[in-house]
Amino acid sequence: MTEQRPTQQEVRDALGRIVESAGFTGAGRLSSFLTYLVERTLSGETDRLKESVLGVEVFQRSTEYDPRTDPIVRVEARRLRSRLEEYYAGAGKPESVRIELPKGGYVPAFSKLAEVSPAIAAPVAPIAAPKPPTVEVESAPMPRGWKLVGIIAGLAVVGISLGYWQTSYMRRVRQAPLATVAVLPFANVGGEAENEYFSQGLTEEIMDRLARVKGLKVISRTVMAQFKGREAGLDEVAMRVNASMVLEGSVRRQGERLRVSARLANPKDGSSVWSQTYDRPMKDVFAVQDEIAQSIANALRVQVGPAPASASKRTTSSIEAYNAYLKGKYQANLYSRQGLQKSIEYFEECLRLDPDYAPALAGLSSTYSLLGYYNSLPADVAWPNARRTAERAIALDPTLADAHSALGLTLAFHEWKWREAEEEARRALAIDDNSAVAHGMYAAAVLLPEGRMKECRVEYRRALELDPLASFINFSYGYALLVEGRYDDAAAQYKRTLELKNIHPDMYWDLGMALGFAGRRKEAEEAMRKSLELQGLNPNRPLTGLPAYFAGDIEAARRSLPAIEAEVRAGQEDRMDLARTYSMLGEKQKALAMLAEAIQARESQVIWIKVDPRFRPLHEEARFKELLRQVGLDAAP
């Protein structure tokens, strides 16, 4: 074999086959990472293939990204090299055009293998076709008249083998996904803030309908959220998310009238594959969503499968109920205390108008659970409602993955029924393995409290590949890193979560804890004070308890114990916080006693006692093991 340099088109064709292969279609951002590296190299922009640039442009880190503290580019490059090796050892073995990522850099290398022409050459297979089996020729002398027959016979065998292998290869190519569609956030024409939730919700609903079309792959909502509010060329969008088609559109609401414009474009040349404008009454919004999905399917000639048997429970005939549902989703996605509380109001408004709307029931259940966990609602309000609404959603639509995830969340977080919670989590994944919520909830509500860290890492990795901008998943993943003792990594993860702008005060508190465990006392103090500010407290007041401990002032933490004890007796402070403070200050017996009281009171954060690093000083105590048993967490991970 000799090595040649392939043309740019040959490289792009080879790239297309790689990203459509089974090993890459489920590999999350590896496809977009490889596409970025290849396209920048082909365009002569190799000066941009630096770790600091890649972290920002490919992995959406902030402009202050520091590769020394966040190794995401190096980690993903190792994964990419490994996945390429697997590809060329398997499905890509017959490829003549090779794309490799040499170690020590980020500039890919391109090569093309070709046969050396012998004196009498056998036919050569097409470049992209697999290499046929070798045909060995008998070396013993043959009579003159038979030599030509032997050569012809040998060539015939080779030709037949080539035909078979090429046909098999082309069949595999034809079975590859027909299209990957990136749906840009629909623009809110007019800019009224009141209509922002509607344009966002309409975008998500269209994505959901497209995701049900057989033969289409749809890029997730939060991956596409990076393009909201900024100008980006279609080619840039397609390259960054590895899409073959881009849907863009706009929404204008005027009273009871709706105007939706949508265009499906080919990012290679910007040409329109399909476009349409709909001027309809607001009550026709559901028909518009279906028509857009149907029209795109027709334009791409892919199959529209039958609607799920219970799909009627996922739609509502009430436009007012639908509006309230979209507002509830919008507020819940903010993941602030105010947003979660506001989402309750909107979900309940939706259900007053349509009591059988299953998605609203599932959303309401998860929100109740989160508000119960954060003590933002009384326990006797949050948890019974969380269970009731989840079970109602499942009764209406047993195929709604979010409903099973919601039930699993309350079974774990409040009832400590770990086996039943895992069963619901697994049902959700069986229904929709491409649900970031299902993977994230399984990791956070079941695997992490039980200390099953190997499985936990797998689920978080999958969830973040599907939905890298989801606040709850990113936030709880930071805690998983903390549990594993990766304190600097945990701090970096909390900072990335804060960049999403969906800020809950506990995010800064946990960041301060991670920094404190990492020995970065000054930064820990700054984070703790920011948490106080977000809670509406004076950020300049003296730190007490664990905030003081993690900021490096252990004596201040110890002096504050009597005041914290008084707050617990007055019901102004959680027993769990005092138990953790006792534990970190070496007061083991007091910590165990207070922990027992927290379990008796069913405080929400009891679920973390097995993995919380603040309780490590108690692990060898016999009473601690008994407390684990009471919570159902005594089984070995």
Q: Is the pLDDT of residue 158 over 70?
A: no
The pLDDT of residue 103: 86
Looking at 285, 302, 319, the residue that finishes a domain is 302
The pLDDT of residue 79: 83
Q: What is the pLDDT of residues 336-388, one digit of tens each?
A: 788 889 999 999 999 999 999 999 999 999 999 999 998 889 999 999 999 99
Looking at 252, 274, 302, the residue that finishes a domain is 302
Does residue 346 form part of some domain? yes
CATH number of the domain at 455, please: 1.25.40.10
Listed range (2-6, 162-166, 328-332) with the worst mean pLDDT: 162-166
Q: What is the pLDDT of residues 568-590, one digit of tens each?
A: 999 888 999 999 999 999 999 99
278: nearest Cα among 263, 262, 294: 262
β-pairing, 97-100 vs 2-4, is unpaired
Please tell me the distance from the alpha carbon of residue 405 to that of residue 435, in angstroms, as a whole number: 10
Q: Is the pLDDT of residue 325 over 80?
A: yes
Query: CB–CB of 401/395 below 8 Å?
Result: no
Shared domain check, 92 and 187: no
**Cα 288 to Cα 174, 247, 320, distances in angstroms:** 31, 15, 16
- CB-based contacts of 415: which residues, under 8 Å, 6+ apart? 383, 387
What does the mean pLDDT of the chain come to? 82
Task: Categorize the per-residue pLDDT at 51 as very low, low, confident or very high, splitting at 50, 70 and 90.
Answer: confident
Shared domain check, 365 and 385: yes
Q: Is the pLDDT of residue 119 over 60?
A: no
Domain span including residue 25: 2-114
Listed range (133-147, 266-280, 404-418) with the worst mean pLDDT: 133-147
Shared domain check, 315 and 287: no
User: Between 299 and 248, where is the model more confident?
Assistant: 248
Listed range (195-199, 455-459, 605-609) with the worst mean pLDDT: 195-199
Shared domain check, 200 and 94: no
Rounded mean pLDDT, 88-116:
85
Please report the DSSP string for 435-484 in residue order: -HHHHHHHIIIIITTTT-HHHHHHHHHHHHHH-TT-HHHHHHHHHHHHHT
Rounded mean pLDDT, 585-606:
96
Rounded mean pLDDT, 466-490:
90
CATH number of the domain at 232, please: 3.40.50.10070
Does residue 131 form part of some domain? no
Listed range (48-62, 493-507, 508-522) with the worst mean pLDDT: 48-62
Determine the straight-line distance between the first and last CA of the chain, rounded to whole angstroms: 52
Rounded mean pLDDT, 321-333:
85
Size of the chain, expressed as the number of residues it contains: 637
Percentage of the chain beyond pLDDT 90 is 41
Nearest-5° Cα angle at 210, 204 to 214: 150
422-425 contact pairs (CB < 8 A, 24+): 422/446
439: nearest Cα among 399, 466, 475, 400: 466
Q: Is the pLDDT of residue 323 over 50?
A: yes
Shared domain check, 196 and 94: no
- CB-based contacts of 413: which residues, under 8 Å, 6+ apart? 369, 372, 373, 445, 604, 607
Please tell me the distance from the alpha carbon of residue 554 to that of residue 541, in angstroms, as a whole number: 16
The pLDDT of residue 271: 84
Rounded mean pLDDT, 63-83:
80
Instruction: Tell how far CA 341 is from the center of its chain.
Output: 24
Q: Is the pLDDT of residue 297 over 70?
A: yes
Shared domain check, 312 and 286: no
Task: Categorize the per-residue pLDDT at 123 as very low, low, confident or very high, splitting at 50, 70 and 90.
Answer: very low
Q: Is the pLDDT of residue 98 over 50?
A: yes
Does residue 156 form part of some domain? no
Q: Of 90-99, 127-136, 250-259, 580-589, which has the strongest mean pLDDT?
A: 580-589
β-pairing, 109-114 vs 97-100, is antiparallel
Rounded mean pLDDT, 149-160:
43
Does residue 401 form part of some domain? yes
Shared domain check, 321 and 211: no
Rounded mean pLDDT, 317-334:
84
Does residue 513 form part of some domain? no
Rounded mean pLDDT, 143-167:
42
Q: Is the pLDDT of residue 25 over 90?
A: no
The pLDDT of residue 62: 66
289: nearest Cα among 320, 314, 256, 255: 314
Q: What is the pLDDT of residues 236-269, one digit of tens each?
A: 888 888 888 899 888 888 777 888 888 888 888 8
The SS3 of residue 113 is strand
Please tell me the distance from the alpha carbon of residue 17 to that of residue 82, in angstroms, as a whole number: 17
Task: Categorize the per-residue pLDDT at 31 as very low, low, confident or very high, splitting at 50, 70 and 90.
Answer: confident
Shared domain check, 311 and 290: no
Rounded mean pLDDT, 182-201:
78
Shared domain check, 463 and 314: yes
Rounded mean pLDDT, 595-618:
96
Does residue 614 form part of some domain? no
The pLDDT of residue 3: 61
Task: Categorize the per-residue pLDDT at 470 as very low, low, confident or very high, splitting at 50, 70 and 90.
Answer: confident
* The dihedral sign for the CA sequence 584, 590, 595, 598: negative
Does residue 95 form part of some domain? yes
Shared domain check, 426 and 341: yes
The pLDDT of residue 435: 83
Does residue 229 form part of some domain? yes
Listed range (149-153, 250-254, 316-320) with the worst mean pLDDT: 149-153
Looking at 60, 83, 114, the residue that finishes a domain is 114
Q: Into how many domains does the chain fold?
A: 3
The pLDDT of residue 133: 38
Task: Categorize the per-residue pLDDT at 500 as very low, low, confident or very high, splitting at 50, 70 and 90.
Answer: confident
The pLDDT of residue 597: 96
User: Between 134 and 324, where is the model more confident?
Assistant: 324
Shared domain check, 196 and 327: no
Q: Is the pLDDT of residue 20 over 90?
A: no
Task: Categorize the per-residue pLDDT at 152 as very low, low, confident or very high, splitting at 50, 70 and 90.
Answer: very low
Shared domain check, 186 and 93: no
The SS3 of residue 502 is coil
Please tell me the distance from the alpha carbon of residue 629 to that of residue 108, in angstroms, as a whole number: 53
Rounded mean pLDDT, 519-536:
94
SS3 sequence of 248-268: EEEEEEECCEEEEEEEEECCC
User: Between 511 and 3, where is the model more confident?
Assistant: 511
